[in-house]
Amino acid sequence: MQLTEINFDGIVGPTHNYAGLSLGNLAATSNAGQTSQPRAAALQGIAKMRANIALGLRQGVFLPHRRPDGAWLETLGTRAEDADAALLANALSASPMWAANAATVSPAPDTADARCHLTVANLVTMPHRSHEWQGTLAQLRLAFHSETHFVVHGPIPAPFGDEGAANHMRLAAGHRSPGIEIFVYGEKGGPFPARQHVEASRAVARRHQLDPGRVLFVAQSEEAIAAGAFHNDVVAVADGRVLFAHEQAFADKDRFYADLRRVMPDVEIVEVPANRVSLADAIRSYLFNAQLVTLPTGESALILPTEARETPAVWTWLNEMVAGNGPIRRIELVDVRESMSNGGGPACLRLRVVADPATIDPRFLVDDAKLDAIAAVIAQHWPDTIAPSDLASPELWKQAAEARAALLETLGLGELI
């Protein structure tokens, strides 16, 4: 098998709006009530994928879900036409765009049966996300349909919150090498909920048949969650042999670093000191919600939102890091401002899967030509703007349904998802 890293990005859906539903996500709540730009948001995501392809990275997509989610509303005894404003907003959320919360992924070299395991995230902490898993699971089972190469698991049962890859990191010497899988969970978050439950993380590790000697369970710091790091990927990211993290990311970083060095002596830890970049600046700029990737040249690159350049302390530190002799020597900036305004940066938009592309349904893999076709559908069908008052409009619901149907038809997926 030709194992490689594939970044699956969520296409921003046509109901992308700023309802401020995500408690603890400071960008989402601070922009609540603003007018969104779904078309621009989706095209920004397409441009990000093009930039990845230009770097030599493999790229896939996940598709928007049906919105409003009538099936979910039906379980609550109502319909879009009758639901109150708060419930309707939860049914219209375009949050499946953040593919980092789609699932937790363990590549074949890590698992006892030598198959890639994926567990769909239950996202039970937030109402607007709790009904995502059914639509996501349907896509995962289509994209990773080969039972010879993949095992796709249903969600961990409630009440154990599981937020997927946003609270999971993997370090490995290469795509064929067994990795070290790091599950980051929350215990306390001050005024905000700790979304990842340790029992969910342990259950995923057992399901995926991981070697207990190559798995670490690490508590996120209460300070980080309280500052707005609602997922670990807001304060830490890993790839290859490199862990890139904020000094205040973990509850007991010294123990974590010692355990990590014990199982992976050649790990390279790049820690950003709090006295150089505060948690507030790290979260505002999404310095760590970046894609840390290994380019075909073997070089490590950090794909950052343009907000990093607009935060002086962050930009100064990054330039010093690149000028030094550390493992991260290249920075790429992408404009995902619409997603950022709703609380999701470059890493939120993607799910990293190490697999052989030949084993994946090709309808979920993209190149520049396919992105051209997707962008054309977006330009024609996605709403230009959505104001809060638009959410109750049947015309918006109709437009969203037609836009999604056009995209599925373009990709040859029809009514399959």
The single residue of 208, 246, 348, 381 carrying the catalytic annotation is 348
- Beta-strand ranges (E) seen in 261-415 are 268-272, 291-294, 300-305, 328-334, 350-355, 365-366
Burial class (CB in 10 A: 0-12, 13-18, 19+), 389: exposed
The single residue of 16, 208, 231, 246 carrying the catalytic annotation is 231
CA 93 to chain centre: 16
Whether 108 contacts 146, CB under 8 Å:
no
Nearest Cα neighbor of 66 from 408, 409, 412 is 408
Beta pairing class for 180-185 and 168-171:
antiparallel
- Alpha-carbon Rg for the chain, nearest whole angstrom, is 20
Q: What distance in Å separates the CA atoms of residue 118 and residue 8, rounded to the nearest whole number?
A: 13
Q: What distance in Å separates the CA atoms of residue 352 and residue 316, rounded to the nearest whole number?
A: 29
Q: What distance in Å separates the CA atoms of residue 220 and residue 242, rounded to the nearest whole number?
A: 18
Nearest Cα neighbor of 218 from 237, 198, 235, 246 is 198
Q: What distance in Å separates the CA atoms of residue 251 and residue 241, rounded to the nearest whole number?
A: 22
- 119, two tokens: 């567990």
Whether 49 contacts 59, CB under 8 Å:
yes
The single residue of 132, 163, 332, 338 carrying the catalytic annotation is 163
Distances from the Cα of 63 to the Cα of 14, 71, 96, 197, angstroms: 11, 18, 8, 27
Overall size of the chain counted in residues: 417
231 in catalytic set? yes
Q: What distance in Å separates the CA atoms of residue 404 and residue 400, rounded to the nearest whole number?
A: 6
Phi, psi for residue 239 in degrees, rounded to 5: -165, 140
Which sequence positions are flagged as catalytic?
Answer: 163, 231, 348
